[in-house]
Amino acid sequence: MIIIRKAKLEDKVATNDAHKRSIREVCSKDYNEEQIRIWSDVTYSDEIWENSLKNDIYYVLEKDSVIEGFIHGRIHSDNTGEIMGLYFTPAIMGQGYGRKAFELVMKEILKSKPTKVIISGTKTALPFYKAMGFKVVEVKQSNIRGTVIETNEMELCV
């Protein structure tokens, strides 16, 4: 059974692990080995994790009590909404939970009446974000943790 629930402080390590597994097991079809190795070498600091939970919108997805994905949304000071991260492992992908998680976060973002919601998305997630109504405004070479990967800068007008 898959459940979506608010992230808690004690979820840091398991969420970090799901993030790495998603990049390694899912995004590897669209990026090369070197890019995946550097990009997936992510370690959440206590400070960033605690601030994200305090100030942002953060849900995790659990299957059989193991965190297999997360979604992280933010409302910026200019009132723009942003999906900061959305990463699932193969254990929960393709079963409609991406849409469910996205809609849950959008419901909270929309409460602040933003004019748009943005995302710097992977090549891997492009069909998903198109299905959610986003339009690509720029294809960019983004530096993530010291490796350059192609991203789609997308917007959803709300």
Ligand X SMILES: CC(C)(COP(=O)(O)OP(=O)(O)OC[C@H]1O[C@@H](n2cnc3c(N)ncnc32)[C@H](O)[C@@H]1OP(=O)(O)O)[C@@H](O)C(=O)NCCC(=O)NCCS
List interacting residues with ligand X (CB under 6 A): 22, 26-27, 86-88, 93-99, 119, 121-122, 124-125, 127-128, 131
Question: Does residue 134 sit in helix, strand or coil?
Answer: coil
State in angstroms the smallest separation of the CB of 148 from ligand X: 16
Q: How many CB atoms lie within 10 A of CB 42?
A: 13
CA distance 41 to 34: 11
Q: Closer to ligand X at the Cβ: 57 or 113?
A: 57
β-pair partners for 147: 144
State in angstroms the smallest separation of the CB of 106 from ligand X: 13
Q: Closer to ligand X at the Cβ: 85 or 114?
A: 85
Q: Closer to ligand X at the Cβ: 114 or 121?
A: 121
Ranked by CB distance to ligand X, the top (closest) residue is 98
- E strand or H helix at 101, and its extent? helix 97-110
CA distance 2 to 131: 22
State in angstroms the smallest separation of the CB of 41 from ligand X: 16
CA distance 115 to 132: 16
State in angstroms the smallest separation of the CB of 55 from ligand X: 20
